[in-house]
Amino acid sequence: MLSLAFIVLSLGTALPLAAATGLPDVLHRDVVVIGGGASGAYAAVRLRDDFNKSIALIEKRDRLGGMVNTYVDEKTGATYDYGVQSFLNVSKAAEFFARFNISIGSGSTSPSLITEYIDFNTGKKVDFTPPSSSKQLAAIAKFLKVIEPWESMLSPGYWNFPQTNNIPEDFLIPFGEFLTKYGLEDGAPLIYSTTGLGVGNMSEVATMFALQSFGWDMARGMTGKMGLFSPTSGGNQALYNAIAKNLGDDVLYSSTVIDSRRTEFGVSLAVRNHKTNKVTRIIARRLLVAIEPTEVNMKPLDLSPSEWNTLSKFTYSNEFTGLVDNAVFNTSYYYFNLPSTAAPNHYLVFQDEPMVASFQYTGLEHLFRVMIIGNTTSTADEAKVLAQNSFNTLLKSGRLSKSIRDQKLSWAAFSMHGPMHARVSVDQVKCGFFQDLYKLQGARSTWWTGGAFSANFQTQLWQFDDGLIPKILEGL
Ligand SMILES: Cc1cc2nc3c(=O)[nH]c(=O)nc-3n(C[C@H](O)[C@H](O)[C@H](O)COP(=O)(O)OP(=O)(O)OC[C@H]3O[C@@H](n4cnc5c(N)ncnc54)[C@H](O)[C@@H]3O)c2cc1C
């Protein structure tokens, strides 16, 4: 029988020279978690504080919170969240804030804005009129009724995803076709402009993946059946800062796994701090992976050919958000990118990615939130160029307050989100992809959470973790 000692010894031979020259600290833990974003930070708190398990949390950045981006205005101290904006009150989400004494309110920090639809490729105004708010909300309520019977198949997570013959046909048709089939077109502008646009041209994405970007809880949130909230002060980062304080030295920041050995008896990870170069070895009985299972992220994780065969089927998109500053923007405006063919009321026509989705006034001086939807290969530099080009187009075509050429956007903040929105082809879904994916849960002492294994919302991931934790704890 293999033992943890065996794992440690065999990993030792694989450690790089840096580790061999200075003996790394060795940490023994019940559970080691990789990734301190929504799913990882939440799981770490619950495992340690609610289930009394020792943990270590490995986070590559110098803060927790992942896709949360809180900008703090140096002059006034005002905050603006240009990444995650609000939390759905799924399950016990509000209680989680309360345990850290973070007060929450329903108020959105966004000022009321004038929306201007523009084709960012040409700079021409698009004479597009969305349905009235009441029509949009009625469509979302109807949408919820249509999708409600399928909820347990996709949310939280794919535990009950049906076998090939029982997959609802509607899951696999393009989302635009689905909305048309059920007469839900009036809901499309709201679905798209809130969270649907993350997957790119939402009309063409298979319905089941569009539902992961705007599904049951978002529909409940929009129609008042579920609360949406955010902290009343300090922005969304306030929660993750409080988690960081609480977890203290159990978090290894600026660190990634550089080598690993995973067996059914436990895991051993070599973790390097990229600021100090120090290598720490973590020996744990369970591993929880809370990062996207991309090739880069998985490289040090000792994947077996069959694990890799499954995980490599995922494709991703990239999103980028930032705050740009330029006095020629008209404050109080929300410049929204739609193709000219969306006029006057073609609600299912969207731009293809990569593209800048919008420039949205933040209420802070001349700062606008920019949202850029990339494709699978888009880089941060390309996203910034795209934003500058779209800005130039708006400027040249007279959409902004002055037609001055060669204005440069200055970036007050920028963040790359991705790869995210993990999805696979319809054929792979039919061939049992999600059953194969979930066979990975628990194998080789490794459990998986995060957007690729559940829905892409903070508190839905917490709910997913709540279901996963008892499984992780079995036999521990
Ligand atoms: C622009 C934008 C706005 C959004 N708005 C909302 C919203 O308003 N409400 C909402 O509920 N959801 C929102 N979401 C979605 C939500 O943020 C995600 O669903 C959620 O953050 C995913 O959580 P996660 O734990 O899977 O990943 P993340 O939160 O991205 O966390 C992953 C963490 O792992 C770290 N990491 C990555 N690779 C490694 C590695 N190799 N080693 C160690 N650490 C690593 C990252 O630094 C990060 O901290 C938004 C997303 C985007 C992009």
Instruction: Give the residue with greater pLDDT, 243 vs 12.
Output: 243
pLDDT in tens, 41-68: 999 999 999 999 999 999 999 999 999 9
pLDDT of residue 15 exceeding 50, the answer is: no
- Which segments are annotated as binding site for FAD? 39, 257
Per-residue pLDDT at 331 exceeds 70: yes
Residue 176 located in a structural domain? no
The pLDDT of residue 111 is 81
Q: Rounded to an integer, what distance in angstroms lies between the CA atom of residue 402 and that of residue 227?
A: 41
Q: What is the mean pLDDT of the chain?
A: 93
pLDDT at 202 over 90: yes
- Please say whether the beta carbons of 164 and 430 come within 8 A: yes
Q: In what helix (H) or strand (E) does residue 461 lie, and over which residues does it extend?
A: helix 458-473
Residue 60 domain flag: yes
What DSSP assignment string belongs to 333-345? EEEEE--GGGTTT
Q: Which domain holds residue 270?
A: 4-68+234-314+424-473
What average pLDDT score do residues 6-14 get? 40
Q: From CA 208, how far away is CA 183, in angstroms rounded?
A: 18
Tell me the best of 239, 255, 458 to mutate to test the pocket of ligand 1, counting ligand atoms within 8 Å of each CB and taking the most.
458
Q: Compute the average pLDDT of residues 365-373.
A: 95
Which residue has its alpha carbon closest to ligand 1 atom 16? 457
* Position in ligand 1 atom list of the atom nearest CA 459: 11
Q: Look at ligand 1, atom 7, and give the residue with the nearest C-alpha.
A: 84
pLDDT at 406 over 70: no
Q: What are residue 447's DSSP bridge partners?
A: 288
Across the range 373-393, mean pLDDT stands at 95
Q: Would residue 158 count as lying in a domain?
A: no
Residue 18 pLDDT class (50, 70, 90 cuts): very low
What CATH number should be reported for the domain holding residue 275? Answer: 3.50.50.60
> Which residue's C-alpha comes closest to atom 34 of ligand 1?
35
Lowest-pLDDT choice from 16-20, 92-96, 304-308, 363-367: 16-20
Question: Of the spans 16-20, 64-68, 331-335, which averages the highest pLDDT?
Answer: 64-68
pLDDT at 210 over 90: yes
Indicate which residue's Cα is closest to atom 12 of ligand 1.
Answer: 457
pLDDT of 9 above 90: no
Does residue 53 lie within any of the structural domains? yes
Per residue in 130-151, pLDDT (tens digit) is 999 999 999 999 999 999 999 9
Q: Label residue 327 by pLDDT band (50, 70, 90).
A: confident
pLDDT band at 1 (very low <50, low <70, confident <90, very high): very low
Tell me if 58 CB under 6 Å of ligand 1: yes
- The predicted pLDDT at position 140 comes to 98
What spacing in Å lies between the alpha carbon of 195 and ligand 1's midpoint?
14
Task: Report the alpha-carbon distance of residue 147 to residue 65 in Å, rounded.
Answer: 30
| Pairwise CA distance, residues 86 & 98, whole Å | 16
In a domain, 324, yes or no: no
Q: Is 460 in the pocket of ligand 1 (CB under 6 A)?
A: no
With beta carbons less than 8 A apart as the criterion, state whether 367 and 325 touch. yes
Percent of the chain, pLDDT > 70?
A: 93
In a domain, 204, yes or no: no
What is residue 20's predicted lDDT score, i.e. its pLDDT?
43
326 CB less than 6 Å from ligand 1? no
* 243 inside domain: yes
In a domain, residue 211? The reply is: no
- Higher-confidence position of 387 and 328: 387
Of 50-59, 249-258, 287-296, 403-412, minimum mean pLDDT range: 403-412
Q: In the predicted model, is pLDDT for residue 10 greater than 60?
A: no
CA neighbor of 415 nearest in space, from 25, 41, 54, 66: 66
Is 39 near ligand 1, meaning CB less than 6 Å away?
A: yes
pLDDT, residue 324, reads 96
Ligand 1 proximity of 104 Cβ (cutoff 6 Å):
no
CA distances from 412 to 41, 73, 422 (A): 27, 10, 29
**Whether residue 369 has its Cβ less than 6 Å from ligand 1:** no
For the residues 97-111, what does the mean pLDDT come to? 86
With the most atoms of ligand 1 within 8 angstroms of its CB, the residue from 71, 84, 259 to mutate is 84
221 lines ligand 1 (CB under 6 A): no
pLDDT value at position 403? 63
Cα separation, 179 vs 139, in Å, equals 10
Residue 290 CA to ligand 1 center (angstroms) comes to 9
CA pair distance 175, 131, nearest whole angstrom? 19
Per-residue pLDDT band for 8 (boundaries 50, 70, 90) equals: very low
Q: How many domains does the chain have?
A: 1
Nearest CA to ligand 1 atom 30: 66
Which amino acid type is present at position 160? N
Percent of the chain with pLDDT over 90: 88
Residue 418 has pLDDT above 90, yes or no: no
Q: Rounded to the nearest whole angstrom, what is the distance from the C-alpha of residue 225 to the centroid of ligand 1?
A: 25
